[in-house]
Amino acid sequence: MARVSKADLLGFLDLFDQELKRSILLIAVGGTAMTLLGLKSSTKDVDFNIPSEEDYNEFKRIKEKIKPGIAIDFWSSNTIFSEILPDDYVGNSAKYKSSFKKIDVRILSPIDILCSKISRFNDADREDIKDCIKYAKITKSQLTKRAGQYSRTGSDDVFKQNLKYILGNMF
């Protein structure tokens, strides 16, 4: 499948914005967040966390209606991938300035982008983690503290092993 550029992403969101019956909050995560931050030129798919169940259902309704033709993953509540985000993740996210009338787009904070990639930790995640560390000037102590606030549906041992590797090799 073709990669999704920032322009493609914003165009897709504009279509959603036109179809929405009410305002919703979307938190861009993963490669989507990194693309909106300008850290990547494109993403392989579009990823959002949607904190409100009502917003999640409205987003799902519009996705099924317009069939945007790009891969979209979205999670409700405080989850993304296999990670359970800390309670303050929405407050720590950054508002993305846009002309959307009904979509409030926020970008997951760089340290949360990093923490959400620790469990999977594939080659692309490694590069993204390095980019987040450099962009946000994340320190080892900041990462250790924030990673300790995460929980997951997957293996804690894998998370801890990958975090140890990151702390020892990426700073």
Residues 6+ apart with CB under 8 A from 95: 104, 105, 106, 107
Q: What is the pLDDT of residue 71?
A: 87
Residues 6+ apart with CB under 8 A from 155: 119
Backbone angles phi, psi at 46, to 5 degrees: -105, 130
Is the CB of residue 117 less than 8 Å from the CB of residue 131? no
Q: What is the pLDDT of residue 8?
A: 92
Whole-model pTM: value is 0.94
Enter the tokens of residue 128.
Answer: 């993204």
Looking at the predicted structure, is the pLDDT value of residue 67 above 90?
no
When pLDDT is cut at 50, 70 and 90, the band that residue 161 belongs to is very high
Q: What is the pLDDT of residue 68?
A: 84
When pLDDT is cut at 50, 70 and 90, the band that residue 146 belongs to is very high
When pLDDT is cut at 50, 70 and 90, the band that residue 81 belongs to is confident
Looking at the predicted structure, is the pLDDT value of residue 137 above 90?
yes
